[in-house]
Structure 1
Amino acid sequence: METEVYSFLLGPAVIPSLPSCIALLVTLQIHQLMAAQFKVIGSDQPLVVSVGEDAVLPCHLSPSMSAASMEVRWFQSQVSPYVHLYQDGQDQDGQQMSEYRERTSLIKDDITNGSVSLIIHSVRPSDHGQYKCFFQSDVYYEEALLELQVTAMGSALHISADGYQDGGIRVGCRSAGWHPEPKAEWRDHRGQLLPPTSEKISMDAGGLFHTEISTVIMEESNRNVTCSVRNLVLNREKAAKIDIADQFFPRVSVTVVALAVVVAVLGLGYVLFLIWICFLIVSDSDL
């Protein structure tokens, strides 16, 4: 039996140099890092929410990619304790800020496209401020800053007349339940500002502001005096008018003045008549 022997001629083995290997690895690593980079997009406008409503803080990745396996952290001034944390595929509450316990949740319906919005339920005045939305993958992280403005329109204005002062009437204006701190002022019937004699702003236990402002109304500026309290965030106000003239500076009519003059003249005539009678009696007695 003959055995056929085949022979092959192989060229020299191509062994890449060490610098080439390093360059290749660096290139692959850079490509991987660039592919993993993203931006975090929040809202470039403040989110305005009234006390008691739910606030939805939007946040998503750009370009779109899944955040299901990432860490998503919402916090304020410091990373921990946090407002809300999504990690290892589920929400974590171990180091959550006590004031947010059972008040936050994430909208994860579109998390595979990198959209994870935070809901703060039943917003309080203390929720007012800045929030950071933080995403972290295995090799990259980024964050965005959002601002939540909590607002409240206060109660109807209560106006009172508190007595006489400096030749005029001191009037007060009070209202409660505002957020943020409101601006209160008095204006006369021409719309001109009246200088306040006192102004007080206080905060209740719930974080809402109470305001009280008083001024002195003089008779020459007493028509349709208006107190207004304005929410500067919403640019809305509540106002109340009072006509001081009708209530505190009644004007005397011409008839009343004429009647007073007639009474005065008659009274004077009667006194003179009595004096004349007395004079006659004295004169007769002397005779």
Structure 2
Amino acid sequence: MTNTLECQRQIDHSDLELLSVCAVSSVPEDFHTASSDQALDAEAGADVILPCAAEPRAVGPEDLTVEWIVLGHEERTDSVHTFKNGRDRNKRQMASYQNRTALFHDELQNGNMSLKLSVVKASDSGDYICVRTSRTGQHYAIVKLTVRVRGSKPEISSDFCEEGWCRLVCESSGWNPKPTADWLDDQQRNLNSEVEKVTLEPEDGYTVKRRLLVAEGGNSTFTCRVSEKDHVVENTFHI
């Protein structure tokens, strides 16, 4: 048996209903899929395949139930996709996933229960659980998906100037995951600045804001750079 990460929900093995607490505890050794500590990254707008596979069993599609659920969303149901009694049954599917999910029906009896998720967006990020139920037993595993979104070009403004000093404000929004912001001088050296402030809106992503105090009339150029891994955007301000 191979241990998986602790979850915010628990699967009731009798009827696949989600309970409020506890954890997914283990995955049988014949169940092969991406583990929770192997993040699957995708760019916003792309189609992705959440991998889920088990050793083939002598089970026809009509005897197989496959349930994909996601943890941590605020909608009343956590269902992403359900296959049961030989067909898709998505009456309980979350509204945000409608018309965006598909199983590979021809591959189910070969143990391939991967889910295709189309046109992914930041709010799709999360821990997905794949549950396979048949007369041979029940198996499950977790896939962690992170959808990366590059935010806006930083906007730079000055919110006050007095006694020879000005405070510059850099702000960029629409990021996922959380970015970092840095102020640089005209030699591309990092400058000491106020601690960045980061906020999150579920549908709009992360917004980062960072302020810098500079001398007024110094004839200098300052750059605000916002980044998250290989996503980098920047803007300059001359004072």
**Could you state the TM-score of these two structures normalised by the residue count of structure 2?**
0.72
Unmatched 5+ residue regions in structure 2?
1-27
| Structure 1 residue 124 corresponds to structure 2 residue 121 | yes
| CA distance in 2: counterparts of 1:240 and 1:48, whole angstroms | 27
| Structure 1 residue 180 corresponds to structure 2 residue 204 | no
Q: Structure 1 counterpart of 2:190, which letter?
A: Q
Identity of aligned residues (%): 29
Hey, which bits of structure 1, 4+ residues long, moved more than 4 A?
63-67, 219-224
CA contact (8 A) 2:103 2:114 kept: yes
The 3 A distance-change label for structure 1 pair 57 and 129 is: same
| CA distance in 2: counterparts of 1:222 and 1:187, whole angstroms | 15
Q: Once the two structures are superposed, what CA deviation does each residue of 1:244-279 show, in whole Å capped at 9, x if it has no partner?
A: 3xxxxxxxxxxxxxxxxxxxxxxxxxxxxxxxxxxx
| Structure 1 residue 138 corresponds to structure 2 residue 130 | no
- The residue number in structure 2 matching 1:168 is 165
Judging by fraction of residues, say which structure has more strand.
2
- The residue number in structure 2 matching 1:43 is 34
The 3 A distance-change label for structure 1 pair 123 and 166 is: farther
Cα shift at 1:38: 6.8
| CA distance in 1: counterparts of 2:197 and 2:144, whole angstroms | 28
- The residue number in structure 2 matching 1:207 is 204
| More off after superposition, 109-118 vs 220-229 | 220-229
Tell me the SS of whatever aligns to 1:102: coil
Tell me the SS of whatever aligns to 1:227: strand
| CA distance in 2: counterparts of 1:168 and 1:138, whole angstroms | 74
Match of 2:80 among 80, 83, 108: 83
CA contact (8 A) 1:40 1:135 kept: no
CA contact (8 A) 1:168 1:218 kept: yes
| Structure 1 residue 97 corresponds to structure 2 residue 90 | no
Q: Where do 1:207-246 residues align within 5 Å?
A: 207-218=204-215, 223-231=220-228, 234-244=229-239
Q: Structure 1 counterpart of 2:69, which letter?
A: F
Give the length in aligned residue pairs.
Answer: 204
Q: Structure 2 counterpart of 1:240, which letter?
A: N
Tell me the SS of whatever aligns to 2:96: helix
Cα shift at 1:165: 4.3
Cα shift at 1:227: 1.0
Q: Structure 2 counterpart of 1:72, which letter?
A: V
Judging by fraction of residues, say which structure has more helix.
1
CA contact (8 A) 1:165 1:216 kept: no
Of structures 1 and 2, the larger Rg is shown by: 1
CA contact (8 A) 1:65 1:114 kept: no
CA contact (8 A) 2:51 2:113 kept: yes
**Could you state the TM-score of these two structures normalised by the residue count of structure 1?**
0.62
Unmatched 5+ residue regions in structure 1?
1-36, 245-287
Tell me the SS of whatever aligns to 1:192: coil
- The residue number in structure 2 matching 1:192 is 190
